[in-house]
Every structure is written in structure tokens, then in C-alpha cells.
Amino acid sequence: MMASKVFSRGVTMATRSQQSLKKAATSRSIYTAAARTGSKPSGALALAGVAAAGTVMAVSSMNREKTFCEMPVIMSGQATEEKATGIMFPPMVNGFSFMGCGVRIKYVFVKVYAVGVYLRPEHVKGVTDDAAIEKALLDPNHHKVIRIVMNRAMTMDKYNDAIVEALTPRMNGQDLEKLEEFKKLNPSGNLEKDTELLMTIRGDTLLYKNALGNVGTIHSEVFTKAMCDVYFGSDPVSPPAKSSTIDAVKKL
């Protein structure tokens, strides 16, 4: 009972965070437009902007208390909307900068989740060749964060099965016990819409923040390489996320 209450609170915080990102992005657009025209936003619009910013700070503060793991915080710049789902991605997560996003589609038309990619710009700046960028994305020693936000409800069993199905052929029979370790990092129950999951890849280590906000680790370079291939290989689960990331790196 306690786990389900905490899970519910975590989903509520994630939903509020998504709403706050959209409000903050709207308020920034209002002020940007006003700056371009030399006018000032009306009192009501100004108050809306302040309220949106306050909501972001309040949600972040509440989340630290409830889930014991910080949600992404807007540092600077503008949140980006994933067009197919409307899910918002902040410009920074855990010190990594937003590069691209896309939707994960299953069975042709089911929009399962939106995925955002975050990198260290200084590690890839100046790399303009597609093949070289893909090589860096596939290398777990080029640290990265993959942020997943559910666009629909899904049972945890289906989520785990999908991850295992994607990783198994990419691990070539090595370290397969890590798949069970990963499944154990996920709580029982369902993944609700707007639930956030974070995967931080650092060499042979995967830091994974589950639906409850708890963080676990997997130590295996075979596993982290396979996870990179799931999102950046020749057959990525979200081609738009990969292509938009490559395009963004070229512009650094």
C-alpha cells in the first residue's frame, strides 16, 4: 500500500513537472516576443510568467522531498516539445545538455513514450561527420542521459519485456544476468502516462532512476554498449531521436 502511494505521488509530480515546463515555455515566449517589439507584457501576462516560474520551483522542491531524487531543473534556455506527443524536455538534466528527442512507436501507430537525449557538448563539439557522431553516440565512454517520459500507461511487465527483447540480441550472449538485475530495479505495478525514467550512461556504469525516483546501478560495459545501440545503432527504437541528436551535434 505504501509503495503504491509513493508511486502515485511520483506520477503526480511528473505530470505537474510536464505542465510546469509547458507553462514556463509559454511565459518565456511571451517575454521574448515583448522584447523583440520593445513592449512590456501586460500585468496579467507578467503575473502568469511569475506563477509559471514559481510552479516549476515548487514542483522541483516537492519532488526532492517525495521521491528522494531530483527531477530535471530548468537552468537556462527554452524547453523543447516532442511534436508527436507534446511532451516537454528541459534544456538540462543532471548537468547534461538537451540535444534531441523523438517518439517510440510500437505496432506502427502506438506512441509509447517520448525519449530525449542529453550530452556533454564539449565532448562532441566540432564533430560534423554523421559516422563520427554516431560512433560517439554508440560509445558509452561518451557520457549521456536518456530521458524517457511515458505517453501512455503500460504494465511494468510489458516495459521490462520490451527492454529485454531489445537488449538481448545486442549483448551477444554476454552478461545476460544483467537483464535480470535491470528488471529488479523496476517496482511492481503499472507505468502511468507522464511517468519519467532516467538512464545515465557513464562507461561501464548505468545509473537508472525508476518510476518511484529511486536510483540503482548496473555495472557492465556489455550492457551499456547494448543500451547505446538500442537508441543510436543502425536500427534505433526512435529514429527521430537519433536523427535530431545528430543534427544538433553538427550545429554545436
Q: 193, 114, 115: which is closest to 153 by C-alpha? A: 193
Does the pLDDT at position 20 exceed 70? no
pLDDT digits (tens, 9 = 90+) for 180-232: 999 999 999 999 999 999 999 999 999 999 999 999 999 999 999 999 999 99
Cα–Cα distances (Å) from 96 to 92, 106, 122, 223, 238, in that order, read 5, 28, 10, 21, 20
pLDDT for the residue numbered 110: 83
pLDDT for the residue numbered 193: 96
When pLDDT is cut at 50, 70 and 90, the band that residue 137 belongs to is very high
When pLDDT is cut at 50, 70 and 90, the band that residue 35 belongs to is very low
pLDDT for the residue numbered 28: 42
Coil/strand/helix, residue 146? strand
pLDDT for the residue numbered 71: 42
Q: Where are the domains of the chain?
A: 2-67, 80-250
Section 69-87 average pLDDT: 72
The CATH code that applies to domain 80-250 is: 3.50.70.10
